[in-house]
Each structure stands twice: as structure tokens, then as C-alpha cells.
């Protein structure tokens, strides 16, 4: 058994930022990650990070307003104010730690325009901003002497007398199962993108922490709000950054029209993501697409801009679509990208379970509401990662370890895994179930949704869960048993998928990314509230919570 003050699950930007602030607050901190830290999905973030800097004539209130409007008024305004107010300091702090942001002609930190915002306030490092941030934070965390359990896998959380007291973790290399006792635990395990197929997310984004927290009583909030990004590559679903449109790229239909003129005459290609994705899907559905796609055209930006600011997507286009975007437009379509919902927390990362925190994409502080603005997620990971780390470290100072936690606390997980390995029936492996789940979600819970389809999805998910109960793991070895790991991940994913389908069926209106063809209007009277899903022994239960409105009354949303 291991002991720590603050245990962080996840080594992406949220986890690393939390680790740094917790260690600076004097706590003994450890980070658990199922992959090497810099292979976390944060590393794939391309476009940038938002902040309104006063010396640029910008104001955090303007950023807050854009975020609130972007969220279709579902984001909690008190939380959004915290994020936008603290954004500038956070970005500057990263710069001081060593992130080499792109600069403008005058040598100041450069910005690019991003969707849904009236000001260019996205700071960036070419089109690999996440990688630049993550590597710098990793250096800082190593320098601070944080213990990293690398390639260790969270199995479950330990709760004693209603408080979180640690976690059960499997060492992937040896298959050994350990108990890590900790005074506080922060879930920073990232998103759940792969619950859908295809997705822009890494294969490791399987919602593990959301499910583990849900299992011990944390609430899942806004789960119906799944972002389909407007520009994902045909076939593979690989992301083409919004930075391309930020730099001036056009969207074209099969007739060569810049169709956004008809959907968002003011903001055009830089309307909010939900708006652009709906426009594309409508063009495709009405026969003005090309093989299920529309086109993204950057040719007019010229070779110099493309090579300096969009070099990675040029490579992606060549490698994954056989298109050189210097010379041809690239086929793209809306694709699953981000989960606005997650584990419900306050602005210090606290969940409903004392001692348990969440930050980053796994969490729902309620800053994204119905639709996240591009480049607000990296900001969310840093601001709320830092705040969770500080708070968790402070709380850990005033409490002891759980007294009943022992090596035996892992017995449930040991039995469960043994049961999986002992199952020699003729059942199936995880792969087909995972694929069918992803296809079902993408068919019925994508850009456009309606009651029958969503109910079909929920029914299919329940059938898949029955099949999962008989799943077989043919590889019985202890060493790097990825067959076992993928099977465990699928268990986490099924909780997430069910919460998404249930919440989506519950919301009887259209708001943000949740667009119902059978209820096309926003209904503030009945639905200006969050949907929460709670785990019970008899299955998931739905609860509601009003949206926090401070200074910004809901308005008609147009771009
Ligand atoms: C292709 C792409 C591009 C993006 N571009 C941008 C952008 O330009 N700007 C922006 O604001 N946002 C962007 N986003 C969104 C943003 O990158 C993510 O929301 C954010 O990085 C998530 O960070 P995180 O720290 O919460 O989680 P992640 O970076 O996903 O890290 C999760 C961590 O949890 C660990 N983990 C998970 N499960 C377990 C387990 N069972 N046991 C142990 N460890 C576990 C993983 O090993 C990993 O270390 C992009 C997303 C994608 C997919």
C-alpha cells in the first residue's frame, strides 16, 4: 500500500497543473497515468488557449459573454466569470514557465481568431499548442519531485464513511493490484470521446474517471452535451484545427458556395461550433455535400502562412486524406470531439463526495454549457486544475488517512478481474461491443437527434451491456495485458454512454449541441436547467439543477 496527501488520476494538462499547485501548497502529491504523461490527449490540442488581456483592449467580461452565449446560456455564469477572470494570469504563468507562444509582428504574444468570439484572443503555439503546454508542465512537475505512477491504471475509488480515501490501481507492467491511500483524490482523467466512433479523441479517451466517480456517488452533469467539431477528416475522423478557419479558411459545398453566409451571416465560418456543424450537416443532408462531406479551403492563405501556422494539419491532410491543402480543398465533416458534461464540481473542483475532486474534461464545472468555445478547454484544464490542486492540498493538511483502508480494500477489484480472466465461455471479446456502441452513439446521438433514435440507442446500449457481462478475455497473462485493459475500459465507457443517452432523451428542447428535430426550439421556461445523473443500485436516476445566471440574461442566439 502507498500513502499520499493528494492523489491525481491523469497526467494531462488538468492533472499536471493540479499536481504543480498542490505540491507548491506543501502537499505530498502523486500522479497516476495509464500512458506516459506526454501521451495524454492534451498533447493533441492544436489550435490554442483563450484569454482576454487588458493591455490588448480586451476584457474578461467580453470573454465571459462570448462563452455564455456560446454555451447557449446553459453554462453557470459564476463559474464562467472565474475562468475568464483568471485566464490572463494563467497564460502568462505558462509563458514564464517556458511555453514559447507565437508572437505578433511587434514581438508581443500573438493571437488568432477562434469561433464564437468577437475578439482574437486565442494564444497559440503554431498548431501544436497542447504539446507545448504539456511538455513544459511535465518538466515543472518533474522538477518539483512529484511521484508519477506511469502506466498504472485506475480501477476504482475507495470511499470510507462517505469520504474519498484513496484508489485501487493496477500496475500495467506486472498486473499487480495496489491500494493507494490518499487524503484527497483528483480525477483528471480526461474525456470519453471514444464512446463514439469515429472521434477526434485518442483511443485512450474512454471516460474511466467519470465512471469511477459516478460509481461512488459523484453526479454526472450535462452529459447530453456532446460537441461535434465542424472539421474532422473524412474516414478517420482526425481533427483539422479550428485554427484553420481562425486564419481565414473557407467552408464550401459541392456548388462551391461559402454556405455559412446563409446560416451565420456575421461570423460566417467562425460562428460557434454547434452552429457550423449543423450548417454542414444540413448541406450534406440536403444533397449539397460531396460523399458525406463538405470542403475546407485554405489555399488562399498562401504557403508561408500555412507552413508557419498550420504545418501539422498540412501533414495530417497528406498522411490521412492524401490531399495537399496547399493545392486542394480538404473533405471534412462534423465529428465527435468533446464532452461538455462530466463530473459535477464547484469552482474548486469539489464533487458531491467529500475529498473527491475533478478537473479538466472529466469535470463539469459548468463553464461550457451546451457548447464549448474552441480554445476554452485548455483554459478550463489549467484554471480549474490549479484551483483543485490548491484546494485538495489545503483540505489534506487538516485530515488524516482513512483508518479502515488496507490492502484488502482492493479485494473487490481483484475478484472482479479474476472473474473476467476465469470466464472461458464462448462469449465474445470487447472489440465488437465497443465498435457497436460507438456506431450506435454516432448514429443516434450526433448533430441531429430525435426521440425514437435516442430510445433505440438506449435500448441497444442495454443489450450491449448484457453482452458485456459475458465478455471473454482470452489473454490470461499478467504482463501488459492490453486485452484486459481494453475490456475494463469498455466497462467505464458503457456507464458514460448510458448517461449520455438518458440525459439526451430527458432534455425535451434544442440547446447548444443538443439539437432535436422533434423539438427544434430552445425552451428557457422549462429547460434552463442542468440534467444530472446519479448512480443507484437500481440503475441511473435523473435530477435537475437550475442554471446560475448573474449578469447576462438569456437572449436569442445568432451569429
Ligand atoms: C485533437 C484535439 C485537439 C484539441 N484542440 C484543442 C485546442 O486547440 N484548444 C482547446 O482548448 N482544447 C482543445 N481540445 C480539447 C482539449 O485538448 C482537452 O479537453 C483537454 O486537453 C483535456 O485535458 P485533460 O487534462 O482533462 O485530459 P487528458 O489530456 O485527456 O489526460 C487524461 C489523463 O488521464 C489518464 N487516465 C485516463 N484514464 C485513466 C485510468 N483508468 N487510469 C490511469 N490514468 C488514466 C491518461 O493517462 C491521461 O494522462 C482538443 C482535443 C482534441 C482531441
Q: What's the pLDDT at 475?
A: 95
Q: What's the pLDDT at 425?
A: 82
Q: How many helices (H) and strands (E) does the chain have?
A: 16, 21
Burial (CB count within 10 angstroms: exposed 0-12, middle 13-18, buried 19+), residue 54: exposed
Q: Does ligand 1 come within 6 angstroms of the Cβ of 242?
A: no
Helices (H), 470-531: 482-506, 524-527
Mapped onto helix, strand or coil, the DSSP state of residue 287 is: coil
Contact 85, 21 (CB under 8 A): no
Mutate to test the pocket of ligand 1, among 190, 193, 489 (most ligand atoms within 8 A of CB): 190
Burial (CB count within 10 angstroms: exposed 0-12, middle 13-18, buried 19+), residue 328: middle
Contact 262, 269 (CB under 8 A): no
Q: Does ligand 1 come within 6 angstroms of the Cβ of 200?
A: yes
What is the pTM (predicted TM-score) of this model? 0.98
Q: Does ligand 1 come within 6 angstroms of the Cβ of 532?
A: no
Q: What's the pLDDT at 103?
A: 95
Q: What's the pLDDT at 424?
A: 86
Active site residue 273: yes
Q: Does ligand 1 come within 6 angstroms of the Cβ of 12?
A: yes
CA of 191 relative to ligand 1 center, distance in Å:
6
Contact 511, 464 (CB under 8 A): no
Task: For residue 293, give the DSSP letter.
Answer: B
What is the position in ligand 1's atom list of the atom closest to the CA of 190?
27
Compute the distance between CA of residue 166 and CA of residue 386 in angstroms, rounded to an integer. 20
pLDDT < 70 stretches in the chain: none
Q: What's the pLDDT at 235?
A: 86
CA nearest ligand 1 atom 51, residue: 45
CA nearest ligand 1 atom 6, residue: 45
Burial (CB count within 10 angstroms: exposed 0-12, middle 13-18, buried 19+), residue 392: buried
Contact 149, 6 (CB under 8 A): no
Compute the distance between CA of residue 260 and CA of residue 225 in angstroms, rounded to an integer. 23
CA of 40 relative to ligand 1 center, distance in Å:
6
Amino acid at each position: 500500500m502507498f500513502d499520499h496527501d493528494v492523489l491525481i488520476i491523469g497526467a494531462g494538462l488538468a492533472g499536471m497543473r493540479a499536481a504543480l499547485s498542490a505540491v507548491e501548497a506543501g502537499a505530498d502529491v502523486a500522479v497516476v497515468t495509464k500512458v506516459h504523461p506526454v501521451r495524454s490527449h492534451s498533447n493533441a490540442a492544436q489550435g490554442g488557449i483563450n484569454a482576454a488581456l487588458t493591455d490588448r483592449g480586451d476584457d474578461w467580461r467580453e470573454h465571459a459573454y462570448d462563452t455564455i452565449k456560446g454555451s447557449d446560456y446553459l453554462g453557470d455564469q459564476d463559474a464562467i466569470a472565474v475562468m475568464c477572470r483568471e485566464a490572463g494570469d494563467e497564460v502568462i504563468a505558462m509563458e514564464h514557465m517556458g511555453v514559447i507562444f507565437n508572437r505578433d509582428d511587434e514581438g508581443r504574444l500573438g493571437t488568432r481568431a477562434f469561433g464564437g468570439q468577437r475578439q482574437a484572443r486565442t494564444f497559440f503555439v503554431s498548431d501544436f499548442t497542447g504539446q507545448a503546454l504539456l511538455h513544459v508542465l511535465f518538466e515543472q512537475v518533474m522538477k518539483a519531485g512529484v511521484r508519477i505512477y506511469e502506466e498504472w491504471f485506475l480501477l476504482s475509488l475507495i470511499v470510507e464513511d462517505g469520504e474519498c480515501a484513496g484508489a485501487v490501481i493496477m500496475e500495467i507492467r506486472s498486473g499487480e493490484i495496489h491500494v493507494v491511500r490518499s487524503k484527497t483524490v483528483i480525477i483528471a482523467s480526461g474525456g470519453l470521446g471514444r464512446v463514439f466512433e469515429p472521434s477526434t479523441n485518442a483511443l485512450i479517451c474512454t471516460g474511466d474517471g467519470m465512471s469511477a466517480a459516478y460509481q461512488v456517488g459523484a453526479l454526472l452533469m450535462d452529459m447530453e452535451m456532446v460537441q461535434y467539431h465542424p472539421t474532422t477528416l473524412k474516414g478517420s475522423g482526425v481533427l483539422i484545427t479550428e485554427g484553420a478557419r481562425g486564419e481565414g479558411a473557407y467552408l464550401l459545398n459541392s456548388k462551391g458556395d461559402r454556405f455559412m453566409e446563409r446560416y451565420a451571416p456575421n461570423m460566417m465560418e467562425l460562428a460557434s461550433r454547434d452552429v457550423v456543424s449543423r450548417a454542414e450537416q444540413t448541406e450534406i443532408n440536403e444533397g449539397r455535400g460531396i460523399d458525406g462531406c463538405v470542403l475546407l479551403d485554405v489555399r488562399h492563405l498562401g504557403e508561408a502562412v500555412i507552413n508557419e501556422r498550420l504545418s501539422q494539419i498540412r501533414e495530417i491532410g497528406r498522411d490521412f486524406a492524401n490531399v495537399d491543402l496547399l493545392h486542394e480543398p480538404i473533405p471534412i465533416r462534423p465529428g465527435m470531439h468533446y464532452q461538455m458534461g462530466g463530473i459535477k464540481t464547484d469552482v474548486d473542483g469539489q464533487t458531491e463526495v467529500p475529498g473527491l475532486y475533478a478537473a479538466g474534461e472529466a469535470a463539469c464545472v459548468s463553464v461550457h454549457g451546451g457548447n464549448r468555445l474552441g480554445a476554452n478547454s485548455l483554459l478550463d484544464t489549467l484554471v480549474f486544475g490549479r484551483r483543485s490542486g490548491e484546494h485538495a492540498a489545503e483540505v489534506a493538511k487538516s485530515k488524516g488517512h482513512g483508518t479502515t483502508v488496507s490492502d484488502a480494500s482492493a479485494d473487490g477489484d481483484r475478484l472482479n478481474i479474476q472473474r473476467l480472466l476465469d470466464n472461458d465461455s464462448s462469449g465474445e471479446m470487447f472489440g465488437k461491443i465497443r465498435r457497436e456502441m460507438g456506431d450506435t452513439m454516432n448514429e443516434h446521438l450526433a448533430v441531429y437527434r430525435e426521440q425514437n433514435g435516442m430510445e433505440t440507442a438506449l435500448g441497444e446500449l442495454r443489450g450491449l451491456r448484457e453482452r458485456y457481462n459475458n465478455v471473454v478475455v482470452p489473454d490470461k497473462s499478467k504482463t501488459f495485458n492490453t486485452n484486459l485493459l481494453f475490456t475494463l475500459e469498455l466497462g467505464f465507457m458503457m456507464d458514460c454512454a448510458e448517461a449520455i443517452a438518458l440525459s439526451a432523451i430527458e432534455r425535451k428542447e434544442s440547446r447548444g449541441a443538443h439539437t432535436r428535430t422533434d423539438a427544434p426550439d430552445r425552451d428557457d421556461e422549462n429547460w434552463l436547467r442542468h440534467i444530472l445523473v446519479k448512480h443507484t443500485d437500481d440503475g441511473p436516476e435523473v435530477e435537475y439543477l437550475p442554471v446560475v445566471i448573474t449578469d447576462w440574461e438569456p437572449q436569442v442566439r445568432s451569429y
